[in-house]
Amino acid sequence: MAKESDAVPFIRQHVTPGTVVHADEAPGWDRLHGNFEMRRINHSVAYSLDGACTNQAESFFSRMRRAELGQHHHFAGKYLISYASEMAWKEDNRRVDNGAQHKAVTGMALAHPVSRVWAGYWQRSAG
């Protein structure tokens, strides 16, 4: 995506109706007001005000950038949703003990069919 507002169609398609969406004052987010209850924050005034804040999203994006540079070294755009899903799972389960995390990941991996997205990735022949 060339700019943040390019995400508006994706948000409309994937975010559950009734969700309260938090955004900054960038004009591209104005198009979401007809679909969602919005809480907007002007960062030149405050980072959190009247229940509006984007700190959690900013923190998530910061973790994504650190993971790309330090752990993965590059996120190919084609696989970005997979990397983001991994980071979201880690964020959601950060307070779960390591043993329970291991058990959950192992169970999910064993129950999952062969990935058509990642099959052949290491040979650079992924679909």
pLDDT tens-digit readout, 15-33: 999 999 999 888 999 999 9
Shared domain for 90 and 100, answered yes or no, is no
Question: In DSSP terms, which residues pair with 103 in a beta bridge?
Answer: none
Shared domain for 49 and 60, answered yes or no, is no
Question: In DSSP terms, which residues pair with 22 in a beta bridge?
Answer: 39
**Separation CA 39–CA 56 (nearest Å):** 14
Confidence grade of residue 38 (pLDDT, cut at 50, 70, 90):
very high
**Separation CA 52–CA 24 (nearest Å):** 9
Residue 11: per-residue pLDDT: 92
Residue 112, domain extent: 96-127
Shared domain for 39 and 62, answered yes or no, is no
Shared domain for 82 and 111, answered yes or no, is no
Last residue of a domain, one of 53, 71, 87: 53
Shared domain for 20 and 66, answered yes or no, is no
**Separation CA 16–CA 97 (nearest Å):** 30
Nearest to 25 by CA among 39, 42, 48: 42
Token readout for 16 is 């559950």
- Residues 6 or more apart from 63 whose CB is under 8 A from it? 87, 91
The dihedral of CA 92, 70, 1, 119: what is its sign? negative
Number of domain units in the chain = 3
Shared domain for 84 and 105, answered yes or no, is no
Token readout for 107 is 């169970």
Confidence grade of residue 124 (pLDDT, cut at 50, 70, 90):
low
* Beta-sheet pairing, 52-53 with 48-49: antiparallel
DSSP 74: -
Shared domain for 45 and 1, answered yes or no, is yes
Shared domain for 21 and 49, answered yes or no, is yes
Shared domain for 81 and 106, answered yes or no, is no
Shared domain for 48 and 1, answered yes or no, is yes
Shared domain for 46 and 69, answered yes or no, is no
